[in-house]
Structure 1
Amino acid sequence: MAAIIISASRRTDIPAFYSRWFINRIREGYCTVVNPFNRRQVTRVSLLPADVDLIVFWTKNAGPLIQHLQELDAGGFKYYFQYTVNGYPSPLEPYVPPLDTAIETFSRLAAEIGPDKVIWRYDPIVISNITGFDYHLQQFEKIARSLRGKTHRVVVSIVDDYRKSAHELEKLKNQDVLIAKEVNLQEIGNLMSSLSKFAEKNEMGIFSCAETVPLESYGISPGKCIDEQYIRQVLGLDIKKLKDKSQRPACGCILSKDIGVYDTCLYGCVYCYAGTLKSGLRNRQQHAADSPALIGW
């Protein structure tokens, strides 16, 4: 069997909400994953060290997983984190840990595994009447200053329109929150130029994620969240450059196997493409930490 990269997960926050299930699956050596587009198709995914090149974690709160990292190290697993810290107001991120808590947990993780293996994500950038351009300038600079020396890489992207999030964003009007339908490209350019300078000042390389708007002129290079060059430099792994065709055309990531499930996150972020809080709470009732599958059996 060819070794694979495990994505844990673009579809939900496994470290925050399902770390016990994840470590149980590591101990058992496999999990099962339902195809989100064909629920009759179930795949058994090996989680044996010999079959896994690398694990990429995606999270807004790594706290529950930190206690299990020594077990992953002892098993010979290599991994790194894509760690989102936005600190948005509660109408946008109602159940995400407070900014000070998020920075403290991020810092603790970086101290545990090293700053090279924790990538800060300031995304998506949502322009609204409560998160305008000045807001993002101040927020990004504040977080970058707090995370200086705790990461060497930051990823940014502008929020996209997703079918799953459109209704939730529309409901924000009930809280007098108005999302910008169109953004001024000159203002976006000024923002990105400033973010690039803040990143450089705090010793971070800055990259974009699946952006169709070219940002190179502002000092932001097109990035890959699962990047074969980064993996080679940081983890010493020589991974084949096979584009993940299941991702958006603008995504440059190489191939990985996602073991998460949509509609299982419990943060309730209104801009999220992966599901709503209502669906997450409903599906959570079908979760069992000792099941091979994240949801159901």
Structure 2
Amino acid sequence: MILNTGTRTDIPAFFHKWFLKRIDEGFVLSKNPYNNQIYKYNFNPKTVDCICFCSKNPKHLVKKLDNLSEYRQFWFVTITSYGKDIEVNVPNYKKVIKTFKILSENLGANAVAWRYDPIFITEKYDLDFHIDRFGDMASQLHEYTSDCTISFIDLYQKVLRNFPQGREVTTEERLVIGKNFAEIADEYGIQMKTCVEGTLLDQFGFDSSGCMTQQVLEKAIGNNLKVPKGKYKNRECNCLMGRDIGLYNTCMHGCKYCYANANMKLVKRNQKLHNPDSPLLIGEVKDGDVVKEVNEPSYIDTKQKLF
């Protein structure tokens, strides 16, 4: 089983105590955001093939890596350098880079990947800004990871509501970003990737197959996986999304471009309902709730191992 902690919220940044409690107790409950069905997933290291994290501030869990030593892991760390006008509660990128390096030193460069996203263009954050900052970050990160995934802002209705100055990145701008980022990445030996962005940037050597594909996870955990065809795939990419234990409208970073939060009032209301001792991320199991236990096997191919 592949467990995913990061497509709906940032568990390492804001719910690390809860997550470690779930590790200690050996299971977690996750509520489906679309129908309120509650699923129970075990944390048995023999059946959890990989725990996938995605975070803008992983430092709290990085301090507790010994608690996760039994588990294979893959980390996506998002590092941009927008100001507090955009990323309200995100630490300065220089601090996140330091944490990234510690992660890589402990888990290995194959288990830690860099995200530079979402990219948007404004008068303040123009093309030169992105190219300069990407180059600066690549120079510091290239010895600690082999991959970088970029994406461009998606203007969902909630994003437009919270970030009215946001606009689509034009094809011409995407080409400038792609060409310049690829040249910088080539200099530092970094493979550039996109996910659900089409194949426009493939001409510059980008890999557009996805950011969390089976091959990515296999490289991270050092094992081949025999995942049933179609398992975990619910997007226009080859990513294995896994069993997500996060919940929308819970991330306190307050990023203006966020697709996972409707508004911060709702986020703050949900934060008040968070109990670190509850098996649910938000709230408690109530009388009448039906919990479905998911007994999913390991997909590691024991006959083959990557070296």
Instruction: Report the Cα distance in structure 1 between the residues aligned to 2:14 and 2:270, rounded to whole angstroms.
Output: 12
Alpha carbons 2:29, 2:38 under 8 Å: kept: yes
Q: 1:194 to 1:125 in 2, by over 3 A?
A: same
Going from structure 1 to structure 2, the CA distance change for 1:242 and 1:277 (only over 3 Å counts) comes to farther
Which deviates the most, 236-245 or 273-282? 236-245
Counterpart in the other structure of 1:29 = 26
For 1:191-226, what per-residue CA distance to the aligned partner results, in whole angstroms no more than 9, with x for missing partners? 211101111212211110211352101221114232
Which of residues 48, 56, 62 in structure 1 aligns to 2:58? 62
Aligned partner of 2:172: which letter? Q
1:159 aligns with 2:159: no
CA distance in 2, matches of 1:256, 1:8: 9
Whether 1:114 and 2:108 are equivalent positions in the alignment is yes
In structure 2, the residue matched to 1:173 is none
| Cα shift at 1:68 | 2.0
Query: Contact 2:153/2:169 (CA < 8 Å) preserved in 1?
Result: no
Structure 1 equivalent of residue 279 of structure 2: 292
Query: Which ranges of structure 2 fall in alignment gaps of 5 or more residues?
Result: 285-307
Q: Give the aligned partner of residue 11 of structure 1.
A: 8
Cα distance between partner residues in 2 of 1:232 and 1:271: 31
> In 1, Cα distance between the equivalents of 2:232 and 2:73?
22
* Residue aligning to 2:211: 225
In 2: Cα distance, 1:241 partner to 1:45 partner: 19
Structure 1 length-normalised TM: 0.90
Structure-1 separation of matches of 2:38 and 2:130: 42
- Native 8 Å contact 1:80 1:118 kept in 2: yes
Shift of 1:254: 1.9
CA distance in 1, matches of 2:220, 2:232: 25
Q: Using the alignment, how far apart are the partners of 1:145 and 1:91 within structure 2?
A: 26
Q: Deviations over 1:93-128 (max 9, x none)?
A: 111001211111112222222222110000111111
Identify the structure with bigger relative contact order (alpha carbons < 8 Å, sequence gap 6+). Answer: 2
* RMSD (Å) for aligned C-alpha atoms: 1.7
Name the structure 1 match of 2:80.
86
Identical residues among aligned pairs (%): 33
* 8 Å Cα contact 2:233/2:240 also seen in 1: no
AA of the residue aligned to 2:171: L
TM-aligned CA distance change 1:255 to 1:121, over 3 Å: closer
CA contact (8 A) 1:12 1:261 kept: yes
Q: 2:122 aligns with which of 128, 152, 155?
A: 128
Separation in 2, partners of 1:187, 1:9: 28
Partner of 1:174: none
SS in 2 for 1:238: strand
Residues 242-253 of structure 1 correspond to what in structure 2 (within 5 A)?
A: 242-243=229-230, 247-248=234-235, 250-253=236-239
Counterpart of 1:185 in structure 2 is 171
Question: One-letter code of the match for 1:295?
Answer: I
CA distance in 2, matches of 1:293, 1:274: 18
Provide, for residues 65-93 of structure 1, a one-character-per-residue CA deviation record: whole Å limited to 9, x for no partner.
Answer: 012211211xx210010100001122211
Is 2:274–2:282's contact at 8 Å kept on the other side of the alignment? yes
CA distance in structure 1 between the aligned counterparts of 2:251 and 2:271, rounded to whole angstroms: 8
Q: Does 1:259 align with 2:259?
A: no
* Counterpart residue identity of residue 292, structure 1: P
1:196 aligns with 2:182: yes
CA contact (8 A) 1:86 1:99 kept: yes
CA contact under 8 A between 1:244 and 1:253: conserved in structure 2?
no
Aligned to 1:207: 193
Q: Is 1:104 equivalent to 2:113 in the alignment? A: no
Rounded Cα–Cα distance in structure 2 between residues aligned with 1:50 and 1:111: 24
Aligned to 1:36, the other structure's residue is in SS state coil
